[in-house]
Amino acid sequence: MQVNCSINHTLNEIISDDELRVLVRMMDNGFFGAHQRFFVGSFVSRKSIENYLNVYASNTNELN
């Protein structure tokens, strides 16, 4: 349990787009069970959007 909490905390802090792509490939290759695929897919979607918005905000701030 402690390991899972630690991993979740680390992933929620920062995860790169490349790392998200690896998770998607692992899902596509059947690495995760059905319930895990749903959770990982949701996580990847949320973090992808968050990463995109962070890059957009950074670029907007640089232009100002």
pLDDT digits (tens, 9 = 90+) for 7-44: 666 667 778 899 999 999 999 999 988 888 888 899 89
The model's pTM is 0.71
Structure-token match 């995109």, residue found:
52
| Total domains present in the chain | 1
The per-residue pLDDT for 53 is 93
Q: Are 13 and 45 in contact (CB under 8 A)?
A: no
Q: At 33, is the secondary structure helix, strand, or coil?
A: coil
Range of the domain at 7: 2-63
Please give the Cα distance from 55 to 33 (Å, whole number).
32
